[in-house]
């Protein structure tokens, strides 16, 4: 009886141990598959100008955990070939080609050599490609993935290089497809007609974009840059999330996979303007686009999503003004950019109080009213008042050289962990997709 009882207990413990091992093995397997599986698609998302201070302020602004927080894997260095503080052209070139170049250069080495991009390498393997931005689509960051020019200012020279190399092109900048610069003068041209002959569907507004089905797609929603997210409802422009979703729907028709770059362009512009509300609003719009990409990657199982700002803009702080406090929740009440509110002021600026109350929910003090009335740039003065209420400080109106957060999800995401250089990213994407990116 004692032997049978002991044997029974032993068997029970053995069964429990084996069950535990099986569960643990299954758990490890489930966790490992999304990380080490096959990569057919890469969605590279760039919140331009975004750093850890933006991430922290946005967490408080939102009041809950942002989507990106769940996928933080490391940090990234941002310096360019000729300076410790990069611009978007040099940073983007490093993130697209794996080679550092001088500020202002678009996928060209400091010596003037064209550099192959991760988008071009993907296309060479038969994959589809897409570029999405809220700036002009010929602006520095989207430009580096599919064009090669010595100066980022040459947007008219960038536009024709995108056609037929990129299957889905969505953003602003229609003027660069209808005019070209000749000796400082503009000359009429029609790249749009050329694009249509080459099979692109042309769309000009949100409704047209939503109705498209398949094939190559060229959506230019503004002559210049698209509107800030705070002004989106006043336009017929699609959101960044809607453009991202449509790009994924279109590109995913290719069985060989796709490469898609999505830029939250105006986070950077908000930083240049020291406009905290604009920065948070466009970060929110970017987060919605990230959710679209992550949701697709979770269903697809073969999509790697990588997220990293190209540099910090403005040197934003969390708290400041000699107080141990921060109050970014104030920014939730702001309904327009600083410049947008300034545009609502009448000639003598006598309606300052009414405008700021209506669009920012703030009751101005008399000294604040006078400050805005006397300012040579009232938009900056308005931003200053809002920043002080939110306790968000700034050290610059330009870029800074601080490291930025790096996020990744999906198969291959483990490759990006740790402190990375910006040149590592396209090389790791190429490795994950098994495409050749050789710029030696």
| Spatial contact of 147 and 158, defined as CB atoms under 8 Å apart | yes
Q: Quick check: is 252 catalytic?
A: no
Long-range pairs for 247-250: beta carbons < 8 A, 24 or more residues apart: 247/130, 247/132, 247/168, 247/170, 247/217, 248/43, 248/292, 248/293, 248/296, 250/128, 250/130, 250/167, 250/168, 250/212, 250/214, 250/215, 250/217
Q: Rounded to whole angstroms, what are the CA distances from 284 to 62, 241, 242, 312, 422?
A: 8, 10, 14, 17, 24
Closest-CA residue to 145 (of 97, 88, 90): 97
- Residue 16 neighbours by CB under 8 Å, 6+ apart: none
Closest-CA residue to 219 (of 245, 189, 180): 245
Q: Is 268 annotated as a binding residue?
A: yes
| Spatial contact of 416 and 319, defined as CB atoms under 8 Å apart | no
Tokens 């550099």 belong to which residue? 115
CA 6 to chain centre: 63
**Which position among 88, 129, 265, 413 bears the catalytic label?**
88
Q: Is 141 annotated as a binding residue?
A: yes
d(CA 352, CA 141): 37
CA 177 to chain centre: 23
d(CA 293, CA 303): 9
Q: Is 399 annotated as a binding residue?
A: yes
| Spatial contact of 152 and 105, defined as CB atoms under 8 Å apart | yes
CA 173 to chain centre: 17
DSSP characters for 178-206?
A: HEEEETTEEEE--HHHHHHHTTPEEE-SH
Q: Is 115 helix (H, G, I), strand (E, B) or coil?
A: coil
Q: Is 311 annotated as a binding residue?
A: yes
d(CA 15, CA 366): 77
Q: Is 275 annotated as a binding residue?
A: no
d(CA 97, CA 155): 19
Q: Is 24 helix (H, G, I), strand (E, B) or coil?
A: helix
Q: Is 263 annotated as a binding residue?
A: yes
d(CA 270, CA 141): 16
Q: Is 65 annotated as a binding residue?
A: no
Which ranges of 145-275 would DSSP assign to H, the alpha helix?
155-162, 175-178, 191-197, 206-211, 240-251, 266-272
Instruction: Please state the residue numbers annotated as binding site.
Output: 48, 139, 141, 263, 268, 272, 310-311, 399
Active-site annotation, residues: 88
Instruction: Please state the residue numbers annotated as binding site for Zn(2+).
Output: 48, 268, 272, 310-311, 399
Instruction: Please state the residue numbers annotated as binding site for Mg(2+).
Output: 48, 139, 141, 263
């Amino acid at each position: 009886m004692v032997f049978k009882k002991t044997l029974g207990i032993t068997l029970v413990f053995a069964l429990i141990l084996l069950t535990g091992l099986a569960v643990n093995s299954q758990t490890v397997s489930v966790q490992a598959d999304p990380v080490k599986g096959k990569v057919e698609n890469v969605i590279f998302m760039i919140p331009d100008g975004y750093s850890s201070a933006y991430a922290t302020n946005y967490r408080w602004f939102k009041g809950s955990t942002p989507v990106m927080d769940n996928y933080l894997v490391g940090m990234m260095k941002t310096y360019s070939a000729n300076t410790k503080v990069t611009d978007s052209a040099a940073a983007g070139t490093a993130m697209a080609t794996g080679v550092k170049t001088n500020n202002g250069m678009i996928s060209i080495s400091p010596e003037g050599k064209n550099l192959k991009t991760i988008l071009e390498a993907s296309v060479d393997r038969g994959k589809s490609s897409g570029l999405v931005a809220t700036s002009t689509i010929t602006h520095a960051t989207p430009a580096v993935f599919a064009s090669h020019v010595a100066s980022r200012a040459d947007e008219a020279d960038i536009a024709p290089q995108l056609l037929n190399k990129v299957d889905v092109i969505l953003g602003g900048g229609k003027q660069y497809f209808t005019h070209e610069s000749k000796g400082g003068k503009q000359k009429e041209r029609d790249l749009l007609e050329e694009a249509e002959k080459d099979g692109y569907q042309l769309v000009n507004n949100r409704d047209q974009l939503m109705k498209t089905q398949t094939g190559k797609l060229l959506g230019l929603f503004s002559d210049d840059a698209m509107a800030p997210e705070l002004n989106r409802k006043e336009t017929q422009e699609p959101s960044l999330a809607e453009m991202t979703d449509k790009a994924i729907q279109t590109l995913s028709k290719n069985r060989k996979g796709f490469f898609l770059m999505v830029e939250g362009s105006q986070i950077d512009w908000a930083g240049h303007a020291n406009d905290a509300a604009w920065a948070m609003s466009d970060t929110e719009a970017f987060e919605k686009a990230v959710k679209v990409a992550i949701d697709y990657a979770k269903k697809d199982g073969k999509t790697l999503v990588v997220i990293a700002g190209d540099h910090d803009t403005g040197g934003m702080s969390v708290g400041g003004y000699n107080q141990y406090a921060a109050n970014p929740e104030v920014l939730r009440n702001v309904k327009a950019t600083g410049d947008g509110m300034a545009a609502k002021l009448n000639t003598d600026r006598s309606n300052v109080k009414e405008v700021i109350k209506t669009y920012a929910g703030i009751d101005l003090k008399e000294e604040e009213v006078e400050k805005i009335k006397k300012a040579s740039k009232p938009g900056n003065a308005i931003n200053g008042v809002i920043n002080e209420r939110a306790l968000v400080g700034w050290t610059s109106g330009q870029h800074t050289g601080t490291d930025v957060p790096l996020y990744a999800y999906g198969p291959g995401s483990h490759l990006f962990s740790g402190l990375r250089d910006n040149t590592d990213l396209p090389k790791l994407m190429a490795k994950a997709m098994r495409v050749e990116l050789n710029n030696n």
